[in-house]
């Protein structure tokens, strides 16, 4: 069982593809209202870990608790774990919002229709209720005037904001972001980060895999550094970005700071 304040707890998460171990046993607890940014070099297992947390890619071993609910598994009488029925797993996943790199919007549906679909199909909302909810979330991400546009008529930043609105419309307990700006042109990154920063300011529980260290410095309560499938350091932005204790973290952060004067100034002010 998780502590009452814990939104999510991952215990001993391991993931292997054949003989190749990608995650080497990760423990992570996220409190309600906390924003956790996961950073690290490419290939360190960040995205794989995120997909394990909502059981899109079930871990090879370990357990994930969403509140006081064991995710993706059922406990047998002998104490071992077994697979959960798909219907129950889908219900559990509806409690977790996921925003990925590649928008994944239905191209034949308008922005409004993309957001309406989940609340109607999963939560059984009436058409008018789902539409009102979709309008509220699209307005919240600054797209009230684009609700009748199809994805092909929207910029990448606008499509990603529709994807965020779609996740919010499910009224999740937790939002997962997997490199949400990595597929965007540089001039469109800011509009997505602004929406995410607003969510953070409202104490939305979020786990964000990102290479945007400026966002992590400004919005995160905690930064988690991953390398080679393990968490090697975790702490508040001031510690991780300004005074990391792990040599690998120091090297990773210094490479970003050397290329970004604004981030260097922000880090100095932490």
Domains of the chain (ranges; CATH) run 96-171 (1.10.287)
Which pLDDT belongs to residue 8? 97
- Per DSSP, what are the bridge partners of residue 8? 30, 66
User: In the structure encoding, which two tokens stand for residue 82, read together?
Assistant: 């077994």
pLDDT along the chain (270 residues), means of 10: 74 94 97 97 95 94 93 86 87 93 94 96 93 96 97 96 97 96 91 96 96 93 97 96 94 81 61
Which pLDDT belongs to residue 46? 97
Q: Output the pTM of the full model.
A: 0.91
The residue to which tokens 């229709």 are assigned: 113
Which pLDDT belongs to residue 265? 59
Which pLDDT belongs to residue 83? 84
């Amino acid at each position: 069982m998780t502590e009452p304040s814990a939104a999510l707890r991952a215990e001993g998460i391991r993931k292997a593809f054949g003989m190749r171990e990608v995650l080497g046993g990760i423990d992570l607890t996220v409190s309600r209202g906390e924003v956790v940014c996961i950073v690290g070099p490419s290939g360190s297992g960040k995205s794989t870990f995120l997909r394990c947390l909502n059981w899109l890619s079930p871990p090879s071993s370990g357990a994930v608790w969403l509140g006081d609910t064991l995710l993706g598994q059922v406990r047998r009488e002998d104490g071992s774990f077994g697979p959960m029925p798909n219907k129950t797993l889908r219900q559990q996943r509806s409690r977790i919002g996921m925003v990925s790199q590649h928008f994944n919007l239905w191209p034949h549906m308008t922005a409004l229709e993309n957001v309406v679909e989940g609340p109607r199909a999963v939560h059984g909302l009436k058409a008018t209720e789902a539409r009102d909810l979709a309008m509220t979330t699209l307005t919240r991400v600054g797209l009230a005037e684009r609700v009748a546009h199809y994805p092909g008529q929207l910029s990448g930043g606008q499509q990603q904001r529709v994807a965020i609105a779609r996740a919010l419309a499910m009224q999740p307990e937790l939002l997962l972001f997997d490199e949400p700006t990595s597929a965007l042109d540089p001039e469109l990154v800011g509009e997505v980060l602004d929406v995410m920063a607003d969510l953070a300011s409202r104490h939305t529980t979020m786990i964000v895999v990102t290479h945007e260290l400026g966002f992590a410095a400004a919005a995160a309560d905690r930064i988690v550094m991953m390398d080679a499938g393990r968490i090697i350091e975790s702490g508040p932005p001031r510690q991780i970005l300004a005074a990391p204790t792990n040599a690998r973290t120091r090297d990773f952060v210094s490479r970003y700071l050397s290329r970004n004067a604004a981030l260097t100034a922000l880090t100095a002010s932490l």
